[in-house]
Chains A and B, each alone.
Chain A
Amino acid sequence: MKPIACHTDLPVLLPPGPALTVARGESGFGDPRRIFTPAVAIGLFAAFVISVLVNEAAAAPAAPGILAALWKWAPLIFQGFLFNLLVSVLSMAIGTVAGTALGLAQISLLPSVRGASWLTTQFFRNAPWLVLLFYCMLLLPFEIKIAGLTIPLPAWFKSVIGLSLPVMANVSEVVRGGVRSIPLAQWESAETLAFTRRQTLWMIILPQCLKRMMPPWMNLYAILTMATPLISIVGVQDSMTLTRAALSAEGRSELLVPMYLMLLGWFFLYCYPIARCTVALERRFTVKN
């Protein structure tokens, strides 16, 4: 097997061309909208095609073609990809529910509740996702017993919880920021109409924030989805694990780049529309105000 370093003629290993420089220089690592420009999309696709062609040419004549190998493994890896999406949806759901509660606690009238929730938010917001994942895998038991009932806690579910922690902290900030963006006069006028604080929050303030909170929330979801392959590092079998397994089963280094590119492509196709949608929503919102 030839080492990968020999393939210096691979486009992806060459210095980035004009198509890729669009995304360079913008430091928005956390912002998928910046990374996913149409030029990058074209570049990505071109890289995929070229890598297939180049590797096809370099492959031994006797071995089956690269496309054939991709085709063979695609269904299995795609199942893994769907699992990544499941993890992303579950983490987002748990993180959103917990984060909303935490965000509302951050605007509590009780200083102790406010302080504790602020600290929790800041802690999980500023912790590396991978470290949180490791912590959840290590600290959570493999099963929990509640009133004689034993609920198993499989590794994949622990990883969902691990990912939902940073989501929770980010949603908490989105909620707090959303509520604070509503003028105090709205609270006051609700107060003079004898609404309770709880009524004011749920019927008057939060419905107004919802629109404002959508773009950052969707942005967070896109980032989370792209971060789900982290779970492969802590031993959960996802698309990343399956890609690696397929590669080692094939044992052909020329498959390395096309196969990872295929996976990248799927993530791109899933996240890019979300990013576009976020931009559209944001634009609509700015025009309205």
Chain B
Amino acid sequence: MAWTPDQPIIRIADVHKSFGPIEVLKGVTFDVRKGEVICVIGPSGSGKSTLLRCVNALVPIERGSILVEGQEVNDPKLDKLALRRKVGMVFQQYNLFPHKTALQNVMMAPIHVLKQDRNEVEARAIALLRKVRLAEKAAAYPGELSGGQQQRVAIARSLAMNPDVMLFDEVTAALDPETVKEVLVAIRELAAEGMTCMIVTHEMGFARELAHHIYFTDRGVIVEHGPPTDFFACPRDPRTKEFLSQIL
């Protein structure tokens, strides 16, 4: 059965994952539709990041199913490279390649993975850096950039692959407060353009503003979910209430 854009772009069903004796995900189920922005929030260690890593097969799952554009991620015969061309990911620690300039970081994967024409890639990479307001830093090495700037290069690098879905794993958690905003602005613009985003974050204001749907996870399960207005205004579960009272 072929996937069509009117179906959910990501279908997560009853996903279980353990690290040794610790069960991190205990049956997580939800869908993400194309163009939707969902935020996953919850206390540390509740399995948010693991869930994100499962979606692009960085972490294998033990039970359940994850379909990305109809393709089963939990399949031993999965073409991981094909999956990862569709799913971009940005990390908390940016993880830029320190021996390459900002521009080279953005250009590397399209040239060597997608085998695209260098000149065409370069033009696109410059446009992407301009989009994240870093055109003037194209020749800078990651070590010469601030955390916020590095993170924006990382976003541009991921976008250069023209992904259908973007995963953001606590992308502002390692940043200085004054640089958080510039990264959030970049993500906001991306969401406004209709990019499907799965965002794990601790920025509640950002989640409230941007997300179409919020999922609250605790101890490996989704405790509560809903549109941000309902979710923040009248949380039902005591765990959600406690978490929000501590954060807000």
> For chain A residues 184-203, which have a beta carbon within 8 Å of chain B?
185-186, 188-196, 199, 203
Chain A contacts for B96, CB-based, 8 A: 189
User: Besides the contacts A189-B91, A207-B99, what 16 more A-B pairs have beta carbons closer than 8 Å?
Assistant: A185-B91, A185-B93, A186-B95, A188-B58, A189-B89, A189-B96, A191-B58, A192-B58, A192-B84, A192-B89, A193-B108, A193-B158, A193-B161, A194-B113, A204-B97, A208-B98
* A194/B91 in contact, CB under 8 A: no
Chain A contacts for B88, CB-based, 8 A: 192
Distance, CA A194 to CA B80, complexed state (A)? 8
Given contacts A188-B58, A191-B58, A203-B108, contact A196 B81 (CB under 8 A): yes
Distance, CA A203 to CA B108, complexed state (A)? 9
Interface membership of B190, Cβ < 8 A: no
Nearest CB in chain A to that of B97: its residue:
A204
> For chain A residues 139-177, which have a beta carbon within 8 Å of chain B?
none
Interface membership of B152, Cβ < 8 A: no
Interface membership of B85, Cβ < 8 A: yes
Distance, CA A207 to CA B56, complexed state (A)? 26
Report the interface size class on chain A: 10 to 19
Chain B contacts for A185, CB-based, 8 A: 91, 93, 95
Partner of A194, one of B95, B97, B98, B109: B109
Distance, CA A186 to CA B97, complexed state (A)? 7
Partner of A193, one of B93, B99, B109: B109
28 A-B contacts, Cβ less than 8 Å apart?
Answer: A185-B91, A185-B93, A186-B97, A188-B91, A189-B89, A189-B91, A189-B97, A189-B154, A190-B97, A191-B80, A191-B84, A192-B87, A192-B89, A192-B158, A193-B108, A193-B113, A193-B158, A194-B80, A194-B82, A194-B109, A194-B113, A195-B112, A195-B113, A203-B112, A204-B97, A207-B99, A208-B97, A208-B99
Chain A contacts for B154, CB-based, 8 A: 189
Interface membership of B16, Cβ < 8 A: no
* A195/B109 in contact, CB under 8 A: yes
A185, A194, A195 — which one has the most chain B CB atoms within 10 A of its CB? Answer: A194
* B113/A188 in contact, CB under 8 A: no
CB of A192 to closest CB in B, whole Å: 4
Distance, CA A207 to CA B98, complexed state (A)? 10
CB of B212 to closest CB in A, whole Å: 24
Chain A contacts for B95, CB-based, 8 A: 185-186, 188-189
Chain B contacts for A203, CB-based, 8 A: 108, 112
> For chain B residues 64-93, which have a beta carbon within 8 Å of chain A?
80-82, 84-85, 87-89, 91, 93
> For chain B residues 117-166, which have a beta carbon within 8 Å of chain A?
154, 157-158, 161
List of 8 A-B pairs having minimum Cβ-Cβ separation, nearest first: A189-B95, A193-B109, A194-B84, A192-B89, A194-B81, A185-B95, A194-B113, A194-B85
CB of A252 to closest CB in B, whole Å: 59
CB of A254 to closest CB in B, whole Å: 58
* B58/A193 in contact, CB under 8 A: no
CB of A289 to closest CB in B, whole Å: 10
Nearest CB in chain A to that of B113: its residue:
A194
CB of B177 to closest CB in A, whole Å: 23
Partner of B161, one of A186, A188, A194, A207: A194
CB of A182 to closest CB in B, whole Å: 10
